[in-house]
Amino acid sequence: MNNAELIARLLEEAGVRWVFGIPSGPVLPLIEALHHSRVRFVLTASETSAGFMAQTVGSLTGVPGVCVATLGPGATNLATGVGAAWLDRSPLVAITCNVPAPWLKRRVQMRIDHNALFRPLTKATFALDAGHVATIMERAVVLARAEPPGPVHLDLPEDVALDEAVEAAGRVDEPPPLADLSDHVVQVIAAALGRSRRPLVLTGLTFTRCGSGRRLLSFIETHKIPFVSTLHAKGFLPESHPYWAGVIGRACRSEVERFTRRADLIIAIGYDPVEINYEEWVGTTPVIHVSTEAADGGAGISMLYNRACDLDRAIEKMGAIVPAPNEWSSEEIGEHREALERSLRPDGRGPAGAGGLAPHRLLDLLRRRLSPDAILTYDVGAHTHQIATQWRTDFPRTCLATNGWSSMGYGIPAAYAAKLVYPRKPVVAVVGDGCFQMTVGELALARRLALAVPVIVLNDGWLTLMKIKQERKGYGLSGVYLGVPADSPPHYFGVPCRAARDERGMEEAIDWALNLEGPSVIEALVDVEPYSDTVLD
């Protein structure tokens, strides 16, 4: 067994099912080893997409996603996808295949310092050398999964990959458990609830990694407290629940803020400020921050509690808190929800056959045609804000986006990765026209693997989010116009495409795409104007 074969075996034992990447000379020994293992090498169109797909797999399964790239430009392309795992908190192992070890300190074609490149984007970066491959590999898998999860980088010289494996697999100790501070947490929350008249629960990215969603919902119902979430936490508490009050920092944010500003106490459960800083929305309202990490907070934030702890134990103990009366009423929460729904759907915008297809109506059409547990992935742009607030789900991990990293180009690779993980679930990607241009090549991957995923392209001819920001700042519109949408081609790389210009056409296109046995593209010619009324308001 050589070291590449040892790596393949260790990935198998870790539960890895796919490695995403692009071949090159130094990568071939690892691809050959994977060819003789149960781990499937998935060829992507770019290393960036390989990183996004690995990040999505890690996020959905808890098993580190794995991506591989060659040296130099392959590594720099991969870094963007690895960054998503870093700031979106997903377990991932990124392998760069390098020149032979004797060349590592020389100035040769394509070579750069991979460890220096990935150090700011990862939990750790290691150079693999003969005699230490198994130990480092197992350490990387454990570290990638440890709280908070994230990417680990490994650099594999070509000669080391081909060297005979000379070590047996060892055992790396798991990290110590987080402190159980649940008794203290309960004391703080109980005392604060006794003083509060309008408490509010907030859930975020870290909450998505705990197993106590039902217990927290029981706490909310017992105490009759409304709740809001971040983009990443959508569906981990049911959004159909009468106490649900919105998503912070996204479309119609002022409507949500008007509600959250009524609160006199914020109980933040599993909130990660990497999504949105506290000082951007809480004002002077006191905060109890219960999470696996203490929050970085700016000056002026009133923190009643802010310590890293075992989140599941804390939530479990919260169930013993005796309910205290508060002033929220079901009528008040219901009126807020109704006002939010109206704000998300501006009147007079985009009716069928007049002025184009409004994005909010497209989303309503799509939501009605997908099963409740269907997976929607979406990209970065104006539509991110609209979807985050408008799309409703009661199921965790069914509304996927990048928030901490927020890189364009995420939506399509994420959808294809989700379909690999959940082949029997409907999966749909919604992306902007700018995002589509960045990752259109991945349609070839979907065709090759027969992934039945419709990609809906919101084509309005603009980088719309930047257009809106330029308008709000009084700037001229420059560098944001993509051009008048052209007629849709019959296919991209053999993947069939169909255009939709109004609601009737969109309904027909969705039904067409969902009944295909392979990938598809729906080019939705949408009206850009409704975004101006919802996205940054």
One domain, residues 199 and 325: yes
Report how far apart the first and last C-alpha atoms of the chain are (Å, whole number): 60
- Dump pLDDT digits (tens) for 160-181: 999 999 986 667 778 899 999 9
Amino acid at 11: L
Amino acid at 296: D
- Dump pLDDT digits (tens) for 475-531: 998 998 888 777 788 899 999 999 999 999 999 999 999 999 999 999 999 887 777
Sequence-distant (≥ 6) Cβ neighbours of residue 151 within 8 angstroms: 55, 82, 85, 86, 90, 91, 92, 93, 94, 118, 121, 122, 123, 144
Q: Considering the domain boundaries, does residue 174 fall inside one?
A: no
One domain, residues 322 and 379: no
One domain, residues 324 and 365: no
DSSP string, 494-510: TEEEEEE-SHHHHHHHH
One domain, residues 92 and 213: no
The β-bridge partners of 245 are none
Phi-psi region of 528 (alpha: psi -120 to 50; beta: other; left: phi over 0): alpha
Sequence-distant (≥ 6) Cβ neighbours of residue 342 within 8 angstroms: none
Write down the pLDDT at residue 453: 98
One domain, residues 389 and 520: yes
- Dump pLDDT digits (tens) for 439-476: 999 999 999 999 999 999 999 887 887 888 888 889 99
Contacts 24+ apart (CB under 8 A), 104-109: 104/157, 109/72
Nearest to 289 by CA among 323, 266, 312: 266
3-state percent breakdown (helix, strand, coil) of the chain, nearest 5: 40, 20, 40
Average pLDDT over residues 76-89: 98
Q: Considering the domain boundaries, does residue 171 fall inside one?
A: no
Looking at residue 234, what DSSP letter applies?
B
Q: Considering the domain boundaries, does residue 168 fall inside one?
A: no
What is the Cα–Cα distance from 509 to 514, expressed in whole angstroms? 9
Average pLDDT over residues 276-291: 94
Sheet holding 151-157, edge to edge: 40-43, 18-21, 65-70, 92-98, 151-157, 124-127
Q: Where among 129, 162, 195 does a domain terminate?
A: 162
Q: Considering the domain boundaries, does residue 447 fall inside one?
A: yes
Write down the pLDDT at residue 109: 65
Q: Where among 334, 361, 388 does a domain terminate?
A: 334
Q: Considering the domain boundaries, does residue 304 fall inside one?
A: yes
Residue 389 belongs to what domain range?
345-534
One domain, residues 39 and 110: yes
CB 9 within 8 A of CB 30: no
Give this prediction's pTM. 0.94
C-beta neighbour count of 323 within 10 angstroms: 11
Strands 495-500, 491-492: parallel, antiparallel or unpaired by DSSP? antiparallel
Sequence-distant (≥ 6) Cβ neighbours of residue 276 within 8 angstroms: 230, 248, 249
Looking at residue 511, what DSSP letter applies?
H
What is the Cα–Cα distance from 432 to 375, expressed in whole angstroms? 18
Helix, strand or coil, per DSSP, at residue 89:
coil
One domain, residues 34 and 137: yes
One domain, residues 314 and 217: yes
132: domain CATH number is 3.40.50.970
Looking at residue 328, what DSSP letter applies?
-
Q: How many domains does the chain have?
A: 3
What phi, psi does 94 have (nearest 5°)?
-105, 125
Q: Considering the domain boundaries, does residue 26 fall inside one?
A: yes
Write down the pLDDT at residue 537: 75
One domain, residues 209 and 78: no
Q: Considering the domain boundaries, does residue 175 fall inside one?
A: no
One domain, residues 101 and 35: yes
Q: Where among 101, 130, 162 does a domain terminate?
A: 162
324: domain CATH number is 3.40.50.1220
Nearest to 318 by CA among 423, 401, 199: 199
What is the Cα–Cα distance from 369 to 371, expressed in whole angstroms? 7
- Dump pLDDT digits (tens) for 98-131: 977 776 776 776 688 999 999 999 999 999 998 8
Amino acid at 379: D
One domain, residues 143 and 204: no
Q: Considering the domain boundaries, does residue 172 fall inside one?
A: no
| Rg of the chain in Å (alpha carbons) | 24
One domain, residues 192 and 157: no
